[in-house]
Structure 1
Amino acid sequence: MSDWFTSDFPSILAAAFFVGIVVGLTGMGGGALMTPALIFLGVGDTAKIVTADLTAAAIYKTGGAIVHSREGSPNLDLAKWLVLGSVPTALAGPHLLAGVVDPEDVDDVLKMSIGFALLLAAATYALRLYINLRRVRAGGESGDPNPRVRPLPTFLVGALGGLLVGITSVGSGSVIMVALLMLYPGLSAVKLVGTDLVQAVPLVLAAAISNIIVNDGLDMGLTIPLVLGSVPGTIIGSKLAPRVPQSFIRRAIVVVLTMSGVALLDKAGWAPLGVEETHPILIGVIGLIMVVLVPLVWGLLRKEQGLPMFGAPTVAELEDMGYARATPSPPRDGDAP
């Protein structure tokens, strides 16, 4: 029992609570935020952090999946093909990494893999917003709660997502969600979220079990404070969500994911950044550039779609795909009045 309450317990608890609030506020996947936060806190080696994060995620994602199942929102046929693809690769991912990477290099390889996964998560989140923006401009897709399932592409999405999650713990709530949105653009928002949550439970559980086996057990000193902090944080964040302007939070998360990804690549000695020293000034400059460029690029994309650079629809409204179906297509320049 004493091994559970280490000197790092308060910092892990605080980080989990904060990330839980952000997850509750925005619905974004916790792995993309929690794993790098724990790595930068230096509370354990990267493999143990990934294992603990996956185990905690399996617990709180199960609760969300149960809620959505009771409401009848998941598309179970779609979830089935995702699970068939994701679970085997999630189980295989940690064993594959252990089999091809020298044990002395595992920590750096994991940091590098997570760094690239974070950059991918940031890019896919931005892509999701752009897809929804185009949908608003086109007048919205007609919702189809039960689209015709495309088994092979869905299976492949699950397989690639499972491999990513099994190795890095990142991707179950970001990369797979965007792939589903692109494969099934008519799927309603509640169906999309419900389906993603249902498929994520066996995926994350399989990844957690495989990592526990490969990494010789579960570090309870990491896992207990992760669970104790993230669950109440998520509940509080969910209650605060209607009162908080989410557009700024979501843009900030894209910036944070990008900076975290670059910082982990730097920490792992990724060749283009050099292996002799870290580059905190470079990472800070990247963050400042993104703070300026993200709103500007987003405004230009809106303008290209015939919308004002700023204003409605907001980022939060674009996340609600029901908004796209309820909003008439705005006129383009030159359209007849």
Structure 2
Amino acid sequence: MGIDIPLVIGSFFVAIVVGLTGMGGGALMTPMMMLFFNVPPLAAVSSDLVASAVMKPVGGVVHMRRGTVNLRLVGWLCAGSVPAAFSGVLIARAFGDGEQVQQTVKYALGVALLLAVAGLVAKFWLARHEGPVSADLGEIVVRPIPTLLVGMVGGVVVGISSVGSGSLIIVALLALYPTLRANQLVGSDLVQAVPLVASAALGHLFFGDFQLDLTTSLLIGSIPGVYLGARISSRAPGGVIRALLAVVLLASALKLLGVGNAATLWILGGATAAGAAGWSLLRHRGGVQVGVAGELPEGAASGGSGVEPGVPSRGAR
């Protein structure tokens, strides 16, 4: 088994970004492998998911010990997401073998990244308009059917593309349960992501293109990178970093979808200008509030990363 040193270095720097922002693990690591290291799409998704399955339980245990997990909410999410994640792998395989399935996974990942960018924008918007946060997990009334559907949709997206266990699902939870505190929201999402990613990883071990050397290289680079990013995250300008993350995700999505360089630059320029104008408008209306109300400083008690803010130990995702 050979260790890919350039990939170790690349995953280290990506993991620092993930540790700083608390977001974008799979959404950054998988495109990096495909765009800069020429890893086939299915192999990139498979290896990223298996690496993430190794790391996620650590953060889940931390939140369980702190009592910031709504187990009923987690149960309904997992009821939809776990079988859907395994099915997502089969759906990717159903498109065919060889070049056809690789292109399918590549385009699916591009679409998932666009959804992740939309999720970042939606999260910012919802956080500015949410109601009072709840001080007690017992006060939260779980909505079974919408929660089940969120889990199903998120599970399929994760199974196909490795993106969405945090970036998409947590935005949907924020919309469904606006009174959840940030640590409760993050804790519940992180714990449900453990069986979700494990299911998707199992599917990719059986039917995907898992490569042990890729996964090992990811873990070697990402573990210290995530730790370093989490340690300095409380001092980082979170709003600026999230804005840069959105630009990176958008650029990655456009390249995965085959958009030309000139068109990509124009789109990024327009999106940046629109974002700056919207930011300025919101500031003039009375201050900008980035993140979830009651959110702890990112990485304050974190040893890892995740797609959502403040998540500890998200590992190589």
Q: TM-score, normalised by structure 2?
A: 0.88
- Paired residue for 2:245? 253
Give the AA of the match of 1:36: P
SS state at 2:123 partner? helix
- Paired residue for 2:280? 299
| 8 Å Cα contact 2:133-2:181 kept in structure 1 | no
Cα deviation for residue 287 of structure 1 reads 2.0
| 8 Å Cα contact 2:113-2:249 kept in structure 1 | yes
Residue by residue, what CA displacement relative to the aligned partner does 1:150-174 show, whole Å, maximum 9, x if unpaired?
Answer: 1111111001100000000000011
Using the TM superposition, name which of 293-302 and 225-234 deviates more. 293-302
| 8 Å Cα contact 1:29-1:172 kept in structure 2 | no
- Paired residue for 1:63? 58
- Paired residue for 2:171? 178
1:30 to 12, 20, 25: 25
> Any stretches of 5+ residues in structure 1 without a counterpart?
267-272, 274-278, 325-337
Cα deviation for residue 142 of structure 1 reads 4.5
Give the AA of the match of 1:163: V
- Paired residue for 1:281? 262
- Paired residue for 1:187? 180
Give the AA of the match of 1:193: V
> Any stretches of 5+ residues in structure 2 without a counterpart?
297-317
1:194 and 1:202 map into 2 onto residues whose CA distance is: 14
Matches within 5 A, 1:94-105: 94-101=89-96, 103-105=98-100
- Paired residue for 1:107? 102
Q: TM-score, normalised by structure 1?
A: 0.83
Q: Does 1:231 align with 2:223?
A: yes
Cα deviation for residue 42 of structure 1 reads 3.0
- Paired residue for 1:42? 37
- Paired residue for 1:151? 144
Give the % identical residues. Answer: 42
CA distance 1:110–1:33, change in 2 (3 Å) = same
2:202 and 2:168 map into 1 onto residues whose CA distance is: 21
- Paired residue for 2:2? 4
| 8 Å Cα contact 1:115-1:264 kept in structure 2 | yes
CA distance 1:108–1:185, change in 2 (3 Å) = same
Larger Rg: 1
SS state at 1:180 partner? helix
- Paired residue for 2:119? 124
CA RMSD of aligned residues (A): 1.8
1:55 and 1:155 map into 2 onto residues whose CA distance is: 24
Give the AA of the match of 1:197: L
1:323 and 1:113 map into 2 onto residues whose CA distance is: 31
How many residues are paired up? 295
Cα deviation for residue 50 of structure 1 reads 0.2
